[in-house]
Each structure stands twice: as C-alpha cells, then as structure tokens.
Amino acid sequence: MSVVDERTLGPVTRSRLTLRIQPTDGEAFEVTTRVAFPTPEERARIKVGKTIGVRYDSEDHRRVVVDPEQDAAD
C-alpha cells in the first residue's frame, strides 16, 4: 500500500512498509513494518501495488516479516 524510505546508510536502505495482507483462510488486514534492505537491488524489488511474500504470526498480526524467498504473484 505504501513504501517510505526512512534512512540509507551505505548500501542498506531502511524502509517503512504499509502492507495489506490477504490470508488464504481469513480476512485481509493492514500492518506497518520496517525492513532493512541490504542492497539497492533488493529495495528496488518492492513497489506499491506489487504482491510480495510475507510471513506473519496468526495470533498477533502486528508481527510480520517480508519473505523474499516466498513466491508471490505479481
């Protein structure tokens, strides 16, 4: 839903992502999380409107991790 780059230090960019997560077995929810991208190439893969893989705690939806290894449809 949104991506805001907060800080860049060398090749690392820390960004604040607001995501809309649609579980396969439940209602969609929104969450904001911070991610440190180790390279500019990794950061460039994240764009508003693109679908990305995430992992989340089903008991606490505030606990979300962007999972670049997980396949997600565009």
Which H, E and C letters describe the chain, residue by residue? Answer: CEEEEEEEECCEEEEEEEEEECCCCCCCEEEEEEEEECCHHHHHCCCCCCCCCEEEECCEEEEEEECCCCCCCC
pLDDT recorded at residue 24:
85
pLDDT recorded at residue 25:
85
pLDDT recorded at residue 1:
83
Per the structure, the count of domains in the chain is: 1
Nearest alpha-carbon partner for 3 in 17, 20, 24:
17
In a domain, 72, yes or no: no
pLDDT recorded at residue 9:
92
pLDDT recorded at residue 20:
94
Q: Please identify every stretch of the chain with a pLDDT value under 70, giving residue numbers as ranges.
A: 68-74
In a domain, 73, yes or no: no
Provide the whole-model pTM.
Answer: 0.79
In a domain, 53, yes or no: yes
pLDDT recorded at residue 66:
87
Q: Which domain holds residue 22?
A: 2-66
In a domain, 44, yes or no: yes
* Alpha-carbon gap, residue 23 to 34, rounded angstroms: 20
